[in-house]
Chain A
Amino acid sequence: MIVLDGATKRYGSTTVLDQVSLSFGEEGVTALIGPNGAGKSTLFSVIGRLLQPEEGRVLVDDLDVATAPSRTLATRLAVLRQDNHIAARLTVADLVEFGRFPHSRGRMTTEDREHVEQALDYLDLQPYRARYLDQLSGGQRQRAFVAMVLAQDTRYVLLDEPLNNLDLRHAVEIMRLLRRMADELGKRIVVVLHDINVAARYCDRIVAMRDGRVVCDGPAAEVMDPEVLESVYDLPVDVREIDGRLVALTAG
């Protein structure tokens, strides 16, 4: 379980996370939605020990992220941030191998290599494994990053807007892959999404944030409600049922 207990993060006088208490770990795939600036990335940073909250605690499997050894945490929790820029000239295979670093500490075993190959297979990256990251399209690079956190082989995987830059097919494939990771490998995934229809289709639970607070948290059917969505996005949203699926439509 990932447990946030009254986590608060401020920049000067602006409160970006406001007493957030939340836990992840029951459901397979959880979507985190909310308008830009709601604090979703900040929430991930706080869980991923990249930012220290001013108040509150964050626990990962009963380990306090503020005090637990970073290396131990890295074998349980993987966080992929939103904008990833790598200056070093690395190949796709190099990058995915670094995902094994918490386990191998640089000495790759056969098991490590298997995880790397599996991750490359899962993300359809074998044809590009020897390419440098700056020789890939945005979507291919994004998949390489996802392969890296997959190779890290942690129970908890947090992905911040992983569908950025992806075409329709690869976006769907990533979502299916996340489902498989949850259903077949027992992983617990939290993913920031902007397309609420994708969230409703593939996720077991949707957490909506706004102004640093959690405003709604529940199964997809509960959040896919015109009033709820309007309160999150400040925009009239229509929800229809099409072939048994809830679909949100924006007016205008």
Chain B
Amino acid sequence: MTAVTNHAPTPARTSRTGVGVVVGIALLVLTVTSVFIGVSDVTPASLVRADADSHAAFLLLVSRIPRTVAVLLVGASLGIAGLIMQMMVRNRFVEPSTTGVTEFATLGMLGCIVLAPALPVVGKAAVAAVFGLAGTWVFLQVIKAVPVRQLVLVPLVGIMLGGVVGAFTTFIAYRMDLLQSLGQWSQGSFASVMAGRYELLWLAGAMVIVAWVAADRFSVIGLGEDFATNLGLNCRRVMAIGMVIIAVITATVLATAGIVPFLGLVVPNVVSLIIGDNVRRAIPWVAGLGAVFILACDILARVVRFPYEIPLSVIVGIVGAGIFLWLLLRKGSRAH
């Protein structure tokens, strides 16, 4: 009777493996490309004939490799932050930048600049993380009043919350004459990344590992509180871990690269279409695809007006919004 469907997964699994291989190769090619793109002449050849005080090797170590590593870490971790948040809220359309978390963290950074300008970046990021944590908490409290099944209302509420906090931040920046500086550092870009100015991102990388270790707990929390309680999960503790993951990733990315919108939204949704939402299975995909997405955007940002760079956030905004619209409008989307 149903024997036909019995082996239906086989072709699907094969094509999944295929997609996985493509993503892997893309990641490798883009990583190498990313290292060798730039105004100065750094090519594999120039490295081979390097003499002791080679300019190319110096550039590679101080600027190119750090930049590429930073891009990889940001792509992987922002995707994971989005994924974890989506499981916690049980809504596909949330990520730190559509829920006010990023705006709260930005407010924290601005507060540091105003009140303690001498604070090292680590300190500023820590303050931003605390604000991000508060922002996640506020969002989760507000969202309690919204029924889970109101798929579109939840992100709308988040965007409003972000709007209010963002307006407040802008107002302070305006009064302090910091508007231009706020625009500069909060705009997503890797142009200023170099050795000594991106290492904070390893913390975001560590959060990816934490998420991976606790993956099943986030899957179970994604089933809803009733199932999670029945399965003996300590919901509050897992929510707390999730909040820390989201806040630390948001804050460290903000402090090193600025605001990178859409990635946390788009990547987990695409991965969900390919292999579903079992977090343990999804994490390597989200991290990999997130890295590919942002590497490609960063390379584009560097070559479109070569030798000048356009801000990464512009490219990410255009590409991300396009993919997001497609996700919303495609047939079978759960948004309608």
B91, B227, B233, B280 — most chain A CB neighbours (10 Å): B227
Indicate whether A212 reaches chain B with its CB closer than 8 angstroms: no
Give per-residue flags for B90-105: 1 if the beta carbon is below 8 A from chain A beta carbons, else 0: 1110000000000000
Please report which residues of chain B, range 202-240, place their CB below 8 angstroms from some CB of chain A when the two chains form the complex: 215-217, 219-220, 222-227, 229-234
A127 touches B6 (CB 8 A): yes
Question: Distance in Å from the Cβ of A41 to the closest Cβ of chain B?
Answer: 11
Indicate whether B336 reaches chain A with its CB closer than 8 angstroms: no
B234 touches A94 (CB 8 A): no
Indicate whether A242 reaches chain B with its CB closer than 8 angstroms: no
Which residues of chain A are within 8 angstroms of B309 by Cβ–Cβ distance? none
Alpha-carbon separation in the docked complex, A79 to B231 (Å)? 9
A88 touches B90 (CB 8 A): yes
B215 touches A88 (CB 8 A): no
Indicate whether B8 reaches chain A with its CB closer than 8 angstroms: yes
- Contact sample, A vs B, 14 pairs, CB 8 Å cutoff: A70-B233, A71-B234, A73-B232, A84-B226, A85-B149, A88-B87, A94-B219, A98-B220, A105-B216, A126-B6, A127-B5, A130-B9, A131-B5, A152-B231
A49 touches B231 (CB 8 A): no
- From A80, A84, A101, A106, B232 is in contact (CB under 8 Å) with A101
Q: Could you say which of B111-119, B128-136, B180-188, B270-278 contacts chain A?
A: B270-278
Which residues of chain A are within 8 angstroms of B148 by Cβ–Cβ distance? 85, 87
Please report which residues of chain A, range 93-140, place their CB below 8 angstroms from some CB of chain B when the two chains form the complex: 94, 98-99, 101-102, 105-106, 126-128, 130-132
Which residues of chain A are within 8 angstroms of B87 by Cβ–Cβ distance? 88
Alpha-carbon separation in the docked complex, A223 to B83 (Å)? 51
Alpha-carbon separation in the docked complex, A131 to B4 (Å)? 13
Question: Distance in Å from the Cβ of A190 to the closest Cβ of chain B?
Answer: 14
B5 touches A70 (CB 8 A): no
Which residues of chain B are within 8 angstroms of A74 by Cβ–Cβ distance? 230-232
Which residues of chain B are within 8 angstroms of A72 by Cβ–Cβ distance? 232
Indicate whether B2 reaches chain A with its CB closer than 8 angstroms: yes
Minimum CB distance partner of A102 in chain B: B232
Indicate whether B3 reaches chain A with its CB closer than 8 angstroms: yes
Question: Distance in Å from the Cβ of A158 to the closest Cβ of chain B?
Answer: 9
- From B6, B149, B216, B223, A106 is in contact (CB under 8 Å) with B216
Please report which residues of chain A, range 45-76, place their CB below 8 angstroms from some CB of chain B when the two chains form the complex: 48-50, 69-75
Minimum CB distance partner of A127 in chain B: B2
Given contacts A86-B223, A88-B223, contact A132 B276 (CB under 8 A): yes
Indicate whether A81 reaches chain B with its CB closer than 8 angstroms: yes
B216 touches A81 (CB 8 A): no
A89 touches B230 (CB 8 A): no
A70 touches B234 (CB 8 A): yes
Alpha-carbon separation in the docked complex, A105 to B234 (Å)? 12
- From B225, B233, B234, B278, A90 is in contact (CB under 8 Å) with B278
Indicate whether A193 reaches chain B with its CB closer than 8 angstroms: no
Alpha-carbon separation in the docked complex, A91 to B219 (Å)? 12
B231 touches A88 (CB 8 A): no
A101 touches B229 (CB 8 A): no
Which residues of chain B are within 8 angstroms of A86 by Cβ–Cβ distance? 222-224, 227
B277 touches A98 (CB 8 A): no
A79 touches B230 (CB 8 A): yes
Give per-residue flags for B57-94: 1 if the beta carbon is below 8 A from chain A beta carbons, else 0: 00000000000000000000000000000010011100
Given contacts A85-B149, A127-B3, A131-B5, contact A90 B231 (CB under 8 A): no
Give per-residue flags for B270-294: 1 if the beta carbon is below 8 A from chain A beta carbons, else 0: 0010001110100000000000000
- From A48, A90, A91, B230 is in contact (CB under 8 Å) with A48
Alpha-carbon separation in the docked complex, A71 to B230 (Å)? 9
Question: Distance in Å from the Cβ of B90 to the closest Cβ of chain A?
Answer: 5
A98 touches B224 (CB 8 A): no
Given contacts A81-B226, A98-B231, contact A89 B220 (CB under 8 A): no
Minimum CB distance partner of B215 in chain A: A106
Alpha-carbon separation in the docked complex, A226 to B280 (Å)? 55
Indicate whether A78 reaches chain B with its CB closer than 8 angstroms: yes
Which residues of chain B are within 8 angstroms of A98 by Cβ–Cβ distance? 216, 219-220, 223, 227, 231
Question: Distance in Å from the Cβ of B267 to the closest Cβ of chain A?
Answer: 15
- From B3, B12, B91, A87 is in contact (CB under 8 Å) with B91
B8 touches A101 (CB 8 A): no
A50 touches B226 (CB 8 A): yes
Alpha-carbon separation in the docked complex, A98 to B220 (Å)? 7
Minimum CB distance partner of B272 in chain A: A89
Question: Distance in Å from the Cβ of A217 to the closest Cβ of chain B?
Answer: 25
Question: Distance in Å from the Cβ of A251 to the closest Cβ of chain B?
Answer: 38
